[in-house]
Homo-oligomer: A and B are copies of this chain.
Amino acid sequence: MPPVRNVLYIMCDQLRRDYLSCYGHAHLHTPNIDRLAAAGVRFSRAYTQGTICGPSRMSAYTGRYVSSHQVAWNAVPLPLEELTLGDYLRPHGIRTALVGKTHATPNLDALQRLEIDPDSAQAQPLNEVGFEAYVRHDGIFPDSPLFADKRESAPYTHYLREQGYAGTNPWHTWANAAAGQDGEILSGWHMRNAHLPARVAEAHSETAYTTDRAIDFIHEQGAQPWCLHLSYIKPHWPYIAPAPYHALYGADQVQAPIRAEPGQASDHPVYQAFRQHQESLNFSRDEVRLRVIPTYMGLIKQVDDQLGRLFDVLHNTGRWDDTLIVFTSDHGDFLGDHHLGEKEFLLEPAVGVPLIVRDPRAAADISRGTVDARLVETIDALPTFLEALGLPTAEHRLEGRSLIALLHGLETDWRRMTMVRSERWKYLAYDGFRAQLFDLENDPQELHDLGADPAYAPVREVHQGYLFEWLRGLKRRTTISHAEIDLRGQRFRYGEPEAEKVVQIGVW
């Protein structure tokens, strides 16, 4: 089978799976993303590796679990020796570029120890976790001197100034703020302002800007092979949208929150602790949900509109026919479900992500427009790209699995996942606390925690066994390939023919 030529890897930030019409949202219509789903496969049970940005993204870029790549929290640097998308593709002549966000943090300690100047060309791809930073835009520039360097080095800051949005921090004062009645700046950090239009024109907002740069790259690259990571910061907070997206939806289009009956919610101490966070307390109030969620929906609608523009470009340039396209998110957002805000907990609104894959090749025609309910993960993207591009795999490192066989309708043994997610159950293990268990078949909203119910001890035991098996199966010998190990074995030990062994042990 001929390989695809390009890969377009689109990621939103903090986009919930169920906030797209193809995933069932009743009021938020996303026709362009739906168009991609109709032309490819929509995975209905895709999961992210981490429910905050950094861990999730490093899993996406390395094809490895958080436990393996070690970025267990935001702003933790990736070990330099973790190979990423760009490391796998670039040696094969595929320009691998970033437009948007990665949440990568330079590993300055390691660079210093290896005597590599962090500002050198040598360090550049290391600092950008393997990407060529065509445009890096992570968003989030708080109005603090701590962020001055980051803000001034950001292309979007200068772009905004060129468009006439003046000031030291136009991201904050224009793109993520509204104007009060007396012209005062009302910050998007305050959710009470979510219903107001941002001070930036839609065409200059982060989502439009990011799409423009992606289109620039695709035009610039022409028929040369590329992999583009188009990575939107939105609909991540601050929850504030440019007109007209701030006002497209109203309180009557907000879905009812997913919550257990009073007194029936899990008493698990970890869950209870998360309920006390400020964002959880605020999102537990209807006043907050009904003001914020319409804007969250508007931000998603804007992404969909911008993707419509982009897909048109792909069609008009012929790229639709030679490009593998993936659309996904790094994690979800509780938005008040389960009386939680943000995403640092492994219930479905946070850990479930949309995942749509379109393979342009004829072999994938069999699956176009279908829904695949098999358990797939963020780490599967990189192995999928390698197989689609016809490149060698790296079995001693990659912990994800290529989805190509699924797209091509080929029979294959598939997985249960850890978290642990099995076909029916979700099992959450804790250090120092009892586990939680949910029956997703009979309780898809995860309202009944079976983690302390003696009747379910055998189910928990089986899932502890899965977790144990998974922990032992992580790839922990990454500096040398399986093939090289086999070769050495044959030369030095254990292999045949005996007479050719170089190191002789136990000979009489």
Residues of A within 8 A of B (CB): 66-68, 70-73, 75-81, 83, 87, 107, 109-110, 113-116, 122, 126, 140, 142, 144, 146-147, 189-192, 237, 277-283, 288, 341-342, 429, 431, 464, 467-468, 471-473, 476-480, 485, 488, 491, 502-508
Contacts and interface: CB of A to CB of B under 8 A. Distances in A.
B144 A107 contact: no
Contacts of A477: 70-73, 76
A189 B507 contact: yes
Contacts of A480: 75-77
A38 B307 CA distance: 76
B114 A491 contact: no
Given A80-B80, A140-B503, A191-B507, A75 B488 contact: yes
B142 A504 contact: yes
Nearest to A468: B468
Given A468-B467, A477-B76, A505-B278, A87 B113 contact: yes
A78 B147 contact: no
Contacts of A277: 506
Q: Which of A109, A281, A429 has the most CB of B within 10 A?
A: A109
A431 B465 CA distance: 12
Contacts of A110: 80-81, 479
Given A77-B479, A279-B505, A341-B506, 4 more contacts: A76-B477, A79-B81, A140-B503, A467-B468
Contact of A506 (B76, B115, B278, B505): B278
The 7 A-B residue pairs with the shortest CB-CB distance in the complex, in nearest-first order = A279-B506, A471-B471, A72-B477, A189-B504, A77-B479, A144-B502, A142-B502
- Judged by DSSP, the binding face of A is loop
Contacts of A114: 80, 114, 116, 122, 126
Contact of A282 (B79, B283, B508): B508
Contacts of A279: 505-506
Contacts of A75: 480, 488
Nearest to A281: B506
Contact of A508 (B67, B147, B191, B471): B191
A278 B146 CA distance: 65
A506 B282 CA distance: 7
Contacts of A71: 477, 479
A283 B506 CA distance: 8
B506 A147 contact: no
Contacts of A467: 468
Given A146-B491, A467-B468, A479-B79, A122 B115 contact: yes
A479 B142 contact: no
Given A113-B87, A122-B115, A506-B341, A478 B70 contact: yes
A405 B316 CA distance: 72
A73 to B, nearest CB: 7
Contacts of A113: 83, 87
B288 A508 contact: yes
Contacts of A506: 191, 277-283, 341-342
Nearest to A111: B114
B77 A278 contact: no
A78 B488 contact: no
A109 to B, nearest CB: 7
A67 B476 CA distance: 6
Q: Which of A77, A278, A341, A464 has the most CB of B within 10 A?
A: A278
Contact of A109 (B237, B280, B479): B479
A504 to B, nearest CB: 4
Contacts of A282: 506-508
Contacts of A142: 502-504
Given A282-B508, A472-B431, A78 B479 contact: yes
A236 to B, nearest CB: 10
A22 to B, nearest CB: 29
Contacts of A503: 140, 142
Contact of A70 (B73, B341, B476, B507): B476
A201 to B, nearest CB: 25
A79 B478 contact: yes
A342 B505 CA distance: 8
